[in-house]
Amino acid sequence: MKKLIVVIPFLLAAAACTPTQQGAAIGGLGGAAVGAAVAGNEVEGAVIGGAVGAIAGALVGRAAEGSNQCIYRDEYGRRYTAACPRGY
């Protein structure tokens, strides 16, 4: 039963749709684990660690999503940003 309780959150984190959701889920799980291990009160530490981890993970995931912008170089060597080709 304990193994199942540990495995289910990891499966849910892997099933999250976007990098932001994946980052929030993984950050929340990691933060809860660290908070429970470090704090004097395991439950309070897990709640606070999970919240902080979820926020930090969401921010990291959001930064990893990208903006569908690519950097190109023209014939003169100048760099410019424009929309990426479809499917890229």
How far, in Å, CA of 72 to CA of 75, rounded?
A: 10
Q: Look at the chain and count its residues.
A: 88
Please indicate whether residue 18 or residue 46 has the higher confidence score (pLDDT): 46
Q: What is the pLDDT of residues 3-20, one digit of tens each?
A: 656 666 666 656 656 777
Q: Where are the domains of the chain?
A: 2-83
Sign of CA dihedral 11, 54, 57, 38: negative
Do the beta carbons of residue 31 and residue 52 sit within 8 Å? yes
Structure tokens that stand for 36 in this block: 């429970």
pTM reported for the whole predicted model = 0.55
* Helix 2-15 vs helix 19-38: crossing angle, to nearest 10: 150
